[in-house]
Amino acid sequence: MVAVKDAKNIARQALDVDRVRRTPSQFPPVQFMLASITSATLIANYRYEYTWAEAWMTSTNAGNKSPGLAGVAYSVSELTNTATPTTYSYGVTSASLPVGFIPVRIPTGTYVMLVPHRKSNGELTWLIINTQALDGSC
């Protein structure tokens, strides 16, 4: 015995197939992104605005995607840097640093992990997950 399908179902199936065919693939939302730092601009008090380029792993090496995303990001560990009293990173005070040591920006070419974040006005920005480096000589 042969099963007979309702003509309404066949028409609907054709519409569903057409809709799926025309709809572009949906990618899962980005939760983290590997990127390389391309430049840094001092904002104030050892806080920087970084530009970045999307990167990816190739075997055991990292490289920039081409074409890839690019944008601006801010370091989470630099958000607490203040002028007075001078505090850096996660509560390190300038008084506790050896003479000659200062906080340093993330060097150009460094690979970092980015996470998307919304500013208070709803604008998308990216945050760099890192610990700010301190460098110098005694």
- As given in the structure block, the two tokens for residue 118 are 């919304």
Does residue 80 form part of some domain?
yes
Q: What is the CATH number of the domain that holds 69?
A: 2.40.50
Average pLDDT over residues 45-70: 89
Does residue 18 form part of some domain?
no
Radius of gyration, alpha carbons of the chain = 24
Q: How confident is the model at residue 134 (pLDDT cuts 50, 70, 90)?
A: confident
Give the pLDDT of residue 127.
95
Euclidean distance between CA atoms 110 and 55, whole angstroms: 11
Does residue 15 form part of some domain?
no
16 SS3 class: helix
Does residue 1 form part of some domain?
no
Count of domains observed in the chain: 1
pLDDT in tens, 79-132: 888 776 677 777 777 788 888 888 889 999 999 999 999 889 988 899 998 877
Does residue 117 form part of some domain?
yes
Predicted TM-score of the model (pTM): 0.72
Does residue 20 form part of some domain?
no
